[in-house]
Each structure stands twice: as structure tokens, then as C-alpha cells.
Amino acid sequence: GVTENQTMYLVMEFLDGMDLESLVRQHGPMPAPRVVHVLRQVCDSLEEAHGRGLVHRDIKPANIHLGRVGCREDFVKVLDFGLVKAAGVGPAQSLASMEGVIMGTPAYMAPELALGDQVDGRADLYALGCVAYYLLTGEQVFTGDTVLKVISQHLHAAPLPPSERTELPIPAALEHLVLACLAKRPEERPQNARQLAQALDTIDGMTWGDEEANRWWSQHHPPQGPTSDAIAL
């Protein structure tokens, strides 16, 4: 908007919480029930986007915010649709070979996205599998000292099961689902966000609700109200 004295301003929602990248860096891997709770909400956001024919293309922990909304804790918001693209549009130039440019984040990049093939919502589900892996282990699925080495592993290497990279218990059904999301071929993954959400709902023992969330936030991040600071553009 513009004020009466022609000062431009931008109004943004106040988010009370933190992104998942910061949360894991500060507090370590999440217990499996909380990971399922988070993933389930991300699936809801992706189902809405994919239903509108949109692929996010940059799902990663830093773009998923977890915090308080109203009386709810552990409320997920999927952020930064700056790389969104209509599903099925392509083929595009390979993201691994664009001179000086990488569209997306290599550590969370689906093989078909790296190759410049046509993409649909299953590319976001691959990335969400990478996010789940990070939340459970505190480690990225693949690492390397160059971008191309990381991308090459996404194209060709089999990931270690997350249970081999953490001492926290991971139910076999959850591990199987995470690895299914990380399948190289889109047709071997869950086929849409709703299907993934339904599979998450069938995993036994994943009890993380308001009581657990309230206890965690009260202990680690007591409520903070919004400030009156503003930035004039």
C-alpha cells in the first residue's frame, strides 16, 4: 500500500515460531511422531497447490515454518512459492547444467527436476521425503563438496535407510514410506499428496498432539508477541 504522504509499505503476517532447518539445527532430530504430525500438514498444503496445477519445486526445511497460530502449536505453513511452476510444463533446461544458476535446492531436488524433465507434484513428494529424512536424522540424504556431486547422487545413488543414521527409534512403516518418496522414478513414489497423507495416517503409535506440542513450545520457546517495528520501502 501507499500512505497519504506517498510512503510505500508492505504488510506481512507475523509468524511466531521457526523454520524446520533452524529447529533441527538448534534442537536436533525430531521424534518420529512429531515428524509424522508435521509431514501430514505439509501434505495438506501440497494437496491444495497440486490441485491447482502448481508444483512448488523448492520444498526444503527452510521453507516449512512451524509455530503458533491462534491457540495451536506445531502449526505448519509452507513458504516461498517463488519457484512455483505449472505441473507438466516442460521439458525445461537441465537444472544441473544451467550456467551460473541452480533453480531449487540440490539437497532436496528430485531427479526429474535436476534433469529438466517434465515435473508434477511427485517432484515435491520426493523433496518432502528428503525433508522427512532430515527431520528424523539431522542429516541430509546426500552430501558432497560440489553441487554436481550432490545432484549425481540424487540421480544414481541409493540412500541409506534413516534408521542407520540416528539413534532415535524410527518405525519400519515410516522408514519404508520415506524411502518410497525417495524413489528415483516418479511412478514408484506415492502418486499424490493425499495418498502420502493417508499412508502416514496408518502408521501405528504416532501420537503427537496438542499436549505434546504445548509442552515443547512452552519449554523451548515461550510465546512472544509481535513488535510495532515497520520497514518503509
Determine the pLDDT at residue 188.
96
pLDDT digits (tens, 9 = 90+) for 10-53: 998 888 899 999 999 999 999 999 999 999 999 999 999 999 99
Which residues are known to be catalytic? 58
Q: Which of the two residues, 86 and 186, has the higher pLDDT score?
A: 186
Going by their DSSP bridges, the two strands 64-69 and 16-19 should be labelled as antiparallel
pLDDT digits (tens, 9 = 90+) for 59-85: 999 999 999 888 788 999 999 887 877
Q: How many helices (H) and strands (E) does the chain have?
A: 8, 5
Quote the CA–CA distance of 134 and 73 in Å, as a whole number. 21
Give the count of alpha carbons within 13 A of 230, CB side only.
9
Strand residue runs (E) in 85-135: 85-86
**Angle CA 113–47–36, to nearest 5:** 90
Which of 89, 132, 131, 126 is closest to 110 using CA atoms?
Answer: 126
Strand residue runs (E) in 34-138: 54-55, 64-69, 72-78, 85-86
Three cell numbers, residue 13? 503476517
Three cell numbers, residue 196? 502420502
Residue 95 pLDDT exceeds 50: no
pLDDT digits (tens, 9 = 90+) for 107-154: 999 999 989 888 999 999 999 999 999 999 999 999 999 999 999 999
Q: Name every residue whose Cβ is closer than 8 Å to that of residue 23 and which is 6 or more positions away in sequence.
A: 30, 61, 66
Quote the CA–CA distance of 22 and 32 in Å, as a whole number. 18
Confidence of residue 91 (pLDDT cuts 50, 70, 90): very low
Question: Is residue 19 within a helix (H) or strand (E), and if so which, with residue range?
Answer: strand 16-19
Neighbouring C-beta atoms of residue 165, cutoff 10 Å: 17
Alpha-carbon Rg for the chain in angstroms: 19
